[in-house]
Amino acid sequence: MVKMNNISSHERLLESVARLTEKRDRESLELCLMQTMFELLPVEEIALYQIEDDQFGLLVRINPEGHWTISEDRTDGESLIPIANDALFADSLGRREMRVETVSTNVRRYAFPILYQGHGVGVLSIESTHDLNNDRRLIAGFLRIYQNYLVLIHENAHDKLTGLFNRKTFDERFISIFLKSRNPDPAWDRLRAMERRRQDGGDSYWLAILDIDHFKRVNDTFGHLYGDEVLLLVANLMRRSFRRGDLLFRYGGEEFIVVLRTTTIDNTLTVLERFRRTVEFYNFPQVGQVTVSIGFTQIADSEIPTLIIERADRALYYAKDNGRNQIQGYEGLLTAGELATSRSQVGGDTEMF
């Protein structure tokens, strides 16, 4: 049954719906949904998973102590569950309805399917010592709100042609990373812990700008219809080449951005080279061969976003001015004396965006 404190159930529900519908990005919406349901329902744990190929990837989990997790570490095996290994989740998605199993003498686990445009995209998992049958309508109502908002948020955050994140989303996400690091929030404990691991020899963060070589020639020779198809296919190759946790954006026109995490610059080069070769040897219908040039740089906490983008952009233009179809790193070019330190790095005011 719904938890009842001093506030009436109607007031609690209205307040919860208002709080949920004010969110404008998917991560905030999902976290708010989990927190709201955890407050209203007699649950021991609540978690949200999304489908990633043949696995369930953890997005948010809240336990009785109030801890929550957004799985930033996409390579963490504990955050990934093969679909074949969780019969309850698979059964819920297959039947398009709530399913329940007994975990122990006092605990039941409930699975509710998450649908997006008619397809199963995730599962809401709830563990409780109570029978939640009387709360099913409430849970279903919150999930309908969530599913409706997923459509709106997805359309607002993604490029319509390629389906990658758009420029607006890049600006918001990139700025928010720096704002969060400068204004600590207890909710970001996991992210800060990851950053400490990075500083202790763990992963580093990199920004790469990818540009399709001679794209204007493709449009002029074959028409914009085939040009759009090239953009779409390059985006698909990006999804196949980069990892689950790498952020992929269409930055504008024929430019794309990847924010990725690796342990060394050599690993970064390996990942980017794999993508470059994938594009080079792909047979684009009618067009034939297409290549990309890539410039990248390391992301440092103390720097502002525009400076990082400028560095990657300078490396990209060096690649394009020196033969195209290649990868150049800003730090390597600077060390080799191929690039001079920019004026914005030396001093002066720089706007974030």
Q: Are 151 and 236 in contact (CB under 8 A)?
A: no
Q: What does the CA dihedral 44, 48, 52, 54 come to, rounded to 10 degrees?
A: 40
Q: For residue 48, give the nearest of 118, 143, 117, 140 by alpha carbon.
A: 143
What CA–CA distance (Å, rounded) separates 191 from 180?
10
Q: Which helix (H) or strand (E) holds 201?
A: none
What CA–CA distance (Å, rounded) separates 206 from 29?
27
Tokens of 352: 């974030």
Q: Are 129 and 156 in contact (CB under 8 A)?
A: no
Tokens of 11: 């007031």
In angstroms and rounded to an integer, the radius of gyration of the C-alpha atoms of the chain is 23
Which residue among the candidates 65, 254, 255, 338 is catalytic per the annotation? 254
What CA–CA distance (Å, rounded) separates 25 from 5?
30
Beta-carbon neighbour count of residue 266 at 10 Å? 9
Q: For residue 101, give the nearest of 72, 132, 143 by alpha carbon.
A: 132
Query: Catalytic: 15?
Result: no
Tokens of 93: 């998605």
What CA–CA distance (Å, rounded) separates 294 from 208?
7
Q: Are 19 and 36 in contact (CB under 8 A)?
A: yes
Q: For residue 244, give the nearest of 72, 121, 69, 27 by alpha carbon.
A: 72
What 187-194 contacts at long range (C-beta under 8 Å, 24+ apart), as own/partner pairs, is: 187/31, 187/68, 190/69, 190/70, 190/72, 191/72, 194/72, 194/73
Q: Which helix (H) or strand (E) holds 245?
A: none
Beta-carbon neighbour count of residue 105 at 10 Å? 6
Supply the residues annotated as catalytic: 254
